[in-house]
Structure 1
């Protein structure tokens, strides 16, 4: 989740009065989502930050694409992190040159797309790398080059940033995944969880709303192992129950392995090697207990495969160190993209 505990400019001194950029919210029809069997809306929103003096200049700008977490949307993420204020201040303080920021809406009926191509809910990896990038390049003064495109995200969005980077290495030149969730099997995602039994018994998603983990597992199933002939959730699960006896399904487990970023590394490490910059971070005190362990595991596997990257465990939780001028967006994310993106 995204929970901004620091807002505005109050936590540090702005060196000069910042000029204000412009925030717009637009809607467009996404070909990669059109016609999906789940009925997810193909008309999607983008919340876009345009830097100060964008309207008065003829300059082309790099773009940072930021992917939101599960439950959240493009607009709520902009408001919670105060991206516009942070960028205004960073540009005024010359912490980063003027840049465009784009937040796509990837919220679904079950609260998350996991930025995964699904035969049920739509092709969400393609949505980011094809639909969103094409729309932004056609309608705004971008530098239409991978070296001037950065990709980031938080939680589910961090998961998505890594996945999109692996599958579309020619689209983005630098990637920063913040507290990426569900990178691999873990204590929160494994075949021994009793939640699979509750899922098998449920006839409607409302029966699972009080159990956040079960809801996430259903959402992952609809993304990773959809089955249009298996109501009510139209997904196969890695575990089924018969007479209270659990049985793992090796075929479904293989399907999930196709989509879990750590499992994908053996196939796509070479794609990540082409990036100009790659970083992941995570909070040591994350209440989503799987995140620190799986992030460290992911980093170690990157190192083993020879993928240059930065990895940092910081003192904090899942999303309580994002906003404010002492938060990680201002102190870490923007400087990272200043270094690894190319301006005109």
Structure 2
């Protein structure tokens, strides 16, 4: 392959979407957000044809233009998606790339008084706008959502919360089984906070924002913990409640339970009927995932099977959490085939 971008067979519309629900968000993050809409080959030549849509959402710290990053000797996902449709290996889809970044790193695609109304932004602003401006098939049976890591988390929970909108999902190493993916890092956060910041998150954020982020070892765990707490356990006034004592690391049960209530493995039984009505569920993870999200993937799959959810693809592949963009066309093909008319 050539080591640079080549012309696409489909095309991208790149717009700036002005959100009403993100105005005055608690972090004063931008309410004007980039939005990419990929139109497959033939879209302009067949003006009567309508298409399924797949929404792509990103992992923690992801911002939209990162989708065009590439690893050495490899194509990025927009190129791989275009190649999939140009080769006619999958029914054509409209793909919508949505930005839900926050200055804490992400939003987990939920409404939170500490970060903003990102679930509402995605479901009640972006989806209707796309349906109004492009020739989608505007029904849940023809609409899917996919992502990796925190994006995979969003792909799991969003259809559970809004089954009226979503008929398919694909999660690549999505955050799940919280005692495995989050809890073990709490001790690293506490040690970093105590050794460098006098046990203070305020001092951590002052340092983090005054220098090049992630230039000190140990930055990742405190940032992740605070972001997740802002999403899962913020009080109505926006106060962020951590699930552990900053001095000893002891769990604070009532706060930890608020986190667990957002765990897809634990959410699934409450949304069993909606999950059984999904047209397509795709789950995968690397069997050497650094964050042990392969365990969460298996746990989510197991609970779906116990609930009698049948339209499920599950695979643990040989790999880690990193550089798995080559897996995305597999899930895209799976969704496209099942969301097509």
Decide which of 173, 179, 183 is 1:189's aligned counterpart.
Answer: 183
TM-aligned CA deviation for residue 335 of structure 1: 2.3
Change (3 A) 1:249 1:7: farther
Cα displacement (A) at 1:97: 2.4
Deviation of 1:248 (Å): 2.6
Unaligned stretches of 5+ residues in structure 1? 1-5, 11-16
Moved more, 263-272 or 65-74: 263-272
Residue 83 (structure 1) shift: 3.4
C-alpha distance 9-267 of structure 1, shift in aligned 2 (>3 A): farther
1:305 to 276, 290, 307: 307
Output one character per residue of 1:87-139: Cα deviation in whole Å (capped at 9) or x when no partner: 33222322112221111011110111111110121122222222111111111
CA offsets, 1:188-247, max 9 Å, x none?
Answer: 4259624246285232415465321111011001111124768xxx41101124xx4444
Q: CA deviation at 1:36?
A: 2.0
Give the Å deviation of 1:19: 6.5
Counterpart for residue 263 of structure 1: 266
Of 121, 137, 144, 1:143 maps to 137
Supply the distance in 1 between the matched residues of 2:89 and 2:2 (Cα, whole angstroms). Answer: 18
Superposed displacement of residue 52, structure 1 = 2.2
Structure 1 residue 55: Cα displacement: 2.7
Superposed CA offset, 1:288-340 (max 9, x none): 2x211121122222222222222110011214232xxxx2223x223202321
Q: Does 1:21 align with 2:24?
A: no
Give the TM-score of the pair, scaled to structure 1: 0.84
Q: Which has the higher contact order (CA 8 A, sep 6+)?
A: 1
Q: Distance in 2 between matches of 1:189 and 1:8?
A: 40
Q: Distance in 2 between matches of 1:134 and 1:173?
A: 16
Q: Which residue of 2 aligns with 1:226?
A: 234
| Residue of 154, 157, 163 corresponding to 2:151 | 157
Higher mean displacement: 159-168 or 305-314: 305-314
Corresponding position: 1:37 with 2:26: yes
The question of 1:177 aligning with 2:171 is answered yes
**Using a 3 Å threshold, how does the CA distance of structure 1 residues 246 and 335 change in structure 2: closer, same or farther?**
closer
Describe how 1:53-92 pairs up with structure 2 within 5 A.
53-58=42-47, 59-80=49-70, 82-92=76-86
* 2:307 paired with 1:282: no
Tell me how many residue pairs correspond in the alignment: 321
- TM normalised by structure 2 equals 0.85
CA RMSD in angstroms comes to 2.7
Equivalents in 2 of 1:96, 1:18: separation in Å?
20
Q: Does 1:250 align with 2:253?
A: yes
Gaps of 5+ in 2: 209-213
